[in-house]
Amino acid sequence: LAKTTQPISMDSYEGQEVNITCSHNNIATNDYITWYQQFPSQGPRFIIQGYKTKVTNEVASLFIPADRKSSTLSLPRVSLSDTAVYYCLVGYNNNDMRFGAGTRLTVKP
């Protein structure tokens, strides 16, 4: 059964690095892993996407081990404005896209 699992919540302080891990044991061979950020009363917004190894953009890094059964979103030096819910999205069997339940990140001053 396809299932995407991530921690319910995390706390951090401004300036720290935050790592959020998502487990996806049944990921399909050709599917990508995508992370989204969501603020209250808004739709999710794309952060980063990867297939394997490491991907980095201007806001985050994504680490994917060789077996691809998990992935880790890394947010460097978080600020108060990074307080949001973060979702990983994994494709299972091509069209069966499964979001995790979301990780609520709270950044404290």
Partner 1 sequence: NAGVTQTPKFQVLKTGQSMTLQCAQDMNHEYMSWYRQDPGMGLRLIHYSVGAGITDQGEVPNGYNVSRSTTEDFPLRLLSAAPSQTSVYFCASSPGIGRYEQYFGPGTRLTVT
Residues that bind partner 1 (CB under 8 A): 8, 30-32, 34, 36, 41-46, 49, 51, 87, 89, 91, 94-102
Rounded to a whole number of angstroms, the minimum distance from the CB of residue 8 to partner 1 is: 8
Nearer to partner 1 (CB atom), residue 36 or residue 107: 36
Rounded to a whole number of angstroms, the minimum distance from the CB of residue 54 to partner 1 is: 17
Question: Which residue, chain included where needed, has tokens 């077996």?
Answer: 67
Which amino acid type is present at position 33? I
SS3 content of the chain, % helix, strand, coil (to 5): 5, 50, 45
Which amino acid type is present at position 54? K
